[in-house]
A and B are shown apart, each in its own frame.
Chain A
Amino acid sequence: MEDIKKMIDKYFAELIVDFENDREMELRELSNNSMESAAIRQDKRMVDISTVAYALAKLMSKPHLFKSDQWNRFKAHILQELKAKKSMEETLKRIIEDVNSFDIDLGNYVRDIIEKARIKQASRAYALGISLKQASELTGANFSSLLDYVGATKIHDRPFTKSKSIVDRYKATKKALGE
């Protein structure tokens, strides 16, 4: 438990520094690391850190947002939230709402950035070995969207995915469904 608390504090501190210094790649890396820890430890705070880090990095990667007049105001507001001495869980929830509003106001897509972040991180959790529904539950990603996303990746071609030969599996299928 002590270990998890320390790890979460470390990730949260990295989130502030990386966002303050416009480090997009580091935010993405933080998002991945935090999600990997969350998948093993099933910790929703780590999931939220991962979601926020991914969403902020994604916003930074869009020139029409990052170079807009509103960006500096948005950044200052998020930093103020991150540095406020309030509960981490509440802070992350508020930032998720703020990111959503900012993206909806200025973005071009119907599917919002937070939903994309959740799907991306759920797919990462699934890629690590936890089940699809558990990954969807852990991250709050929509199950149908997750299935759709996973199908477009190479996750199912990774080693150890195949657990039986096709000859055996098909023989059993014919036996079950009828020769």
Chain B
Amino acid sequence: MKIPCDSSSIISLADNCLLRILEGTQHKFVIPKRVKMEIFDSPFSTKRFKLRAIQINSFLQRETMEVVDDPFIHSYSEEITDLANSLLSYRGDNVKIIHQGEAEVIACLKLLKSNTIILDERTTRHLIEDPDRMRKYMEARTGLRMEMDEAVKRRIVKELAGINVIRSAEVFAYAYEKGLVAYHGAKGALEAGLYALKFSGCSITEEEIKDYIELLG
């Protein structure tokens, strides 16, 4: 199966030298051109992230990962971005929730007729899995009452129904259980790996890490 990946997950895995576990899954991972820009072209021009960019690029040369570029990705991601960014409003003004870059991974999934994406970012995950949660989150954080366009919500739910979101944490947990992690069986390895991904930006809570330890540890 071909599985589209967002830059957030590739960066979290690369930061912890875990990209190789993708190879062990026997799947092909796909990124839109813009994601390649985010994980390679742009960091390659910085002193701070150049080494990681080089490491990622060497992984991109392998057969496990493929870059796709198709006019559909641009048009469909624009449609999803427009929909998402008209979902919530405050005092009549729409709140721009997501960026087209995030929607491109969803477009990639539609193009490939896949049903799973790898994505570490919280807001896009909420948009796919539970748009109401996104509103609750934003209202709780800002203290402002947001209006939700119910017709837009219905269109989003219909459009994104059935998409399975996997974070880098899930990929790691799976690889750990299957013995694909080099230090499998080392005491505390599962917990260490999940926390390392969390500290690299994966949107997993401490409570979820504890749940994983209970489930697989």
* Interface residues in chain A, defined as those with a beta carbon under 8 Å from any beta carbon in chain B: 3, 36, 39-42, 110-111, 126-134, 136-138, 142-145, 147-148, 150-152, 156-167, 169-170, 172-178
Decide yes or no whether B121 CB sits under 8 A from chain A: yes
Question: Which of these, A110, A133, A167, contacts B102 with CB under 8 Å?
Answer: A133
The residues of B that contact A133 with a CB separation of less than 8 Å are: 38, 98-99, 101-102, 121
The residues of B that contact A137 with a CB separation of less than 8 Å are: 99
B interface residue count range (under 10 / 10 to 19 / 20 to 34 / 35 or more): 35 or more
Give residues of chain B (55-97) contacting chain A, Cβ–Cβ below 8 Å.
Answer: 90-91, 93, 95-97
Q: Report yes or no: B140 in contact with A159, Cβ–Cβ below 8 A.
A: yes
Q: Report yes or no: A164 in contact with B129, Cβ–Cβ below 8 A.
A: yes
Q: With A40-B90, A131-B98 in contact, is A163–B126 under 8 Å at CB?
A: yes
- For the complex formed, measure the closest distance between the CB of B87 and the CB atoms of chain A, giving whole angstroms: 12
Q: Report yes or no: B141 in contact with A131, Cβ–Cβ below 8 A.
A: no
Q: Report yes or no: B142 in contact with A148, Cβ–Cβ below 8 A.
A: no
In the complex, which of the residues A136, A142, A150 has the most CB atoms of chain B within 10 Å of its own CB atom?
A: A150
The residues of B that contact A176 with a CB separation of less than 8 Å are: 1, 3, 115-116, 164, 166
Q: Report yes or no: A148 in contact with B201, Cβ–Cβ below 8 A.
A: yes
Q: CA A143 – CA B102 in complex, angstroms?
A: 12
Q: CA A1 – CA B46 in complex, angstroms?
A: 38
* Interface residues in chain B, defined as those with a beta carbon under 8 Å from any beta carbon in chain A: 1, 3, 7-8, 11-12, 15, 25-27, 38, 42-43, 46-49, 52, 90-91, 93, 95-99, 101-102, 115-116, 121-126, 129-130, 133-134, 136-138, 140-142, 144, 164, 166, 170-171, 173-174, 198-208, 211-212, 215-216
Q: CA A166 – CA B211 in complex, angstroms?
A: 6
Chain B residue nearest to A138 in the complex (CB): B96
Q: With A40-B142, A133-B99, A161-B137 in contact, is A143–B38 under 8 Å at CB?
A: yes
The residues of B that contact A111 with a CB separation of less than 8 Å are: 48
- For the complex formed, measure the closest distance between the CB of A113 and the CB atoms of chain B, giving whole angstroms: 15
Q: CA A147 – CA B48 in complex, angstroms?
A: 13
Q: Report yes or no: B122 in contact with A161, Cβ–Cβ below 8 A.
A: yes
Q: Report yes or no: B174 in contact with A42, Cβ–Cβ below 8 A.
A: no
Chain A residue nearest to B42 in the complex (CB): A143
The residues of B that contact A163 with a CB separation of less than 8 Å are: 125-126, 129-130, 133
The residues of A that contact B198 with a CB separation of less than 8 Å are: 151, 156
Chain B residue nearest to A164 in the complex (CB): B129
12 residue pairs of the A-B complex, CB under 8 angstroms, read: A126-B123, A132-B123, A133-B38, A133-B98, A133-B121, A134-B99, A158-B141, A163-B133, A164-B129, A172-B164, A172-B166, A178-B27
Q: Report yes or no: B170 in contact with A147, Cβ–Cβ below 8 A.
A: no
> Which 9 A-B residue pairs are closest in the complex by CB-CB distance?
A129-B138, A133-B99, A147-B201, A166-B211, A131-B123, A151-B201, A160-B137, A176-B116, A173-B170
Supply 15 further A-B pairs (C-beta < 8 A) apart from A41-B93, A134-B96.
A39-B142, A40-B95, A42-B95, A129-B123, A144-B42, A144-B52, A147-B201, A157-B205, A158-B141, A160-B137, A163-B125, A163-B126, A167-B215, A170-B174, A178-B25
